[in-house]
Structure 1
Amino acid sequence: MSPTAGGSPRVVVLDYGSGNLRSAVRAVERAGAEVTLTGDLSTAMAADGLVVPGVGAYAACMRGLREIHGPRIIARRLAGGRPVLGICVGMQVLFERGVEHGVETEGCDEWPGVVERLQAPVVPHMGWNTVSAPEGTGLFAGIEHERFYFVHSYGVREWTLETNDRTRAPLVTWAEHGGDRFVAAVENGPLTATQFHPEKSGDAGAALLRNWVTSL
């Protein structure tokens, strides 16, 4: 699946039964892509970009992903240098494991790290928040100081990966809620992810998705 005659990248939003996917589809379309919502392996593999959304419980998202061979799709795309964007729990499942209510669930293990409950006075973290993007970011180009919309009770509070065999050291964006610091986004070669919802983040989120789509 290559870009259309007009030059629009083809993006698949991965359908594995997680939440309202239509808002993600519409947002990526507005960012300039031709979007297909599907759980079909071959279509997801052939797209210029793959979006992995996710809402709700970590374990439930991993169950849904496994049912359509999602971890395999993600791993095979990344092995070929093909872009993947994870959103919210779709970012969390890219890490080694998640722990919710004492239950540990194995993730896609693309990055080492544990998704755990935020240690803030008020949880969930719901609403608009600023982020601290690193120098050299492409995802946040032009929007480094904007606010984005978060809805989550869990996150990655420690980053342990300095580099890997795909690219140079990942660019990690942080945010803080109630004095607790957590990973808000990661840029790691073909693998990109955000803890916040760009599709719910107004103009800033739209700009971020355009940055990603134009990089495909």
Structure 2
Amino acid sequence: MIGIVDYGRGNLRSVEKALEKVDFETTIMTSSAELEGVDGLILPGVGAFADAMEALKSGGWIEPITQFARSGRPFLGICLGMQVLFEVGEEHGEHAGLGLLAGRVVKFPPGGKIPHMGWNSLNLEQPSRLLEGIPNESYFYFVHSFYAVPSEKSDIVATSDYGVVFPAVVGKGNVWGAQFHPEKSSPWGLTLLTNFGKWVNEYAALSSH
């Protein structure tokens, strides 16, 4: 079972529908108590970094999500949900993130059209089970004004280029993030969600023994 965190800042239904389309069972969670019953977790997000962190805090999600990440169960942040995995966000001042990945989230430099909105290709930097079967330079759908700068280069799985080369997929251990919206990214987005779902099912099968 894949849990989708409902903290008032996410595009929940489209994520849920995309996972259902590739035959994975999901539950939209409105309480952190429900984390106990899921084998994988998706943290979606749309909007501002500080607002997202405030909503997670007021909903009592921060400590339970941190514990979930430490449990080894598969965890995927999408768009803003990826950005809050990092230590600091620079939107409207500095704000602390979840700190599950080392680094900070910064604004695109002036010059390009902000937000970065539309289809952009990925450059695969290293093999990843999340991107299995997805060719280099496949296109995904982005909507964002800020991007992550990981402290550790090894956490960058794929990059994209929008005047500046930025991380499009990040990951360390069981914690992963996609800057784009896989649920809006046609076949390759569904491939990524299928890979995540298979990983969740493997974890569930192993932990039930």
Instruction: Confirm or deny a common fold (TM above 0.5).
Output: yes
Aligned to 1:17: 8
Partners of 2:68 and 2:38 in 1: CA distance: 9
- Please list, as runs of the form range in 1=range in 2, the aligned pairs for 1:150-169 lying within 5 A after superposition: 150-156=142-148, 158-161=149-152, 169=154
Q: Which residue identity lines up with residue 188 of structure 2 in the other structure?
A: A
Deviations 1:10-31 (A, max 9, x none): 0111000014311111112223
Structure with more of its chain in helix, by fraction: 2
| Structure 1 residue 94 corresponds to structure 2 residue 78 | no
What is the SS of the residue equivalent to 1:54?
A: coil
User: What is the Cα-based RMSD across aligned positions, in Å?
Assistant: 1.5
> What runs of 5+ residues in structure 1 fail to find an aligned partner?
1-9, 163-168
| Structure 1 residue 112 corresponds to structure 2 residue 90 | no
State, as a whole percentage, how many aligned pairs show the same letter.
39
What is the SS of the residue equivalent to 2:18?
A: helix
> What runs of 5+ residues in structure 2 fail to find an aligned partner?
201-209
Aligned to 1:36: 27
How many equivalent residue pairs? 198
Aligned to 2:72: 81
TM-score (norm 2): 0.89
Deviation at 1:176, TM superposition (A): 0.8
Contact 1:134 1:171 survives alignment (8 Å): yes
Partners of 1:86 and 1:19 in 2: CA distance: 11
Aligned to 1:211: 195
Contact 1:132 1:144 survives alignment (8 Å): no
| Structure 1 residue 58 corresponds to structure 2 residue 43 | no
TM-score (norm 1): 0.86
Aligned to 1:132: 123
Partners of 2:145 and 2:84 in 1: CA distance: 14
